[in-house]
Amino acid sequence: MSIEEHAVADPAAGPYALTTGPDGALWFTLVHGDRIGRLVPGREPTSHRLAPDSGPTVITPGSDGALWTALEIGALARVAPADSTP
């Protein structure tokens, strides 16, 4: 077995859930950082800010080609990846 860890910019942001996006990248939520992140193996993770205090939890690809995340503020967020290449 081989395990490789990838640090996020702010560990206190609380990496929470992870899924493969339609662009082939790994997408994850930062529940305490109000951000979603994107990881392409071999590159540094990037993240994108959501609404303040939104608390994104689970994330999943939708049938519409976008990613959907549940927010602790009682809403859903649709994330359409601009870059379709991993």
Give the pLDDT confidence score for residue 85 in this predicted structure: 43
pTM for the structure as a whole: 0.87
Q: How far apart are CA 66 and CA 42, in angstroms?
A: 23
Q: Kindly state the average pLDDT of the residues 23-30.
A: 94
* pLDDT digits 0-9 by tens, 29-45: 999 999 999 999 889 89
Exposed, middle or buried: residue 14 (CB in 10 Å: 0-12, 13-18, 19+)? middle
What percentage of the chain reaches a pLDDT higher than 90? 73
Q: How far apart are CA 30 and CA 62, in angstroms?
A: 19
**Mean pLDDT, the chain, integer:** 90
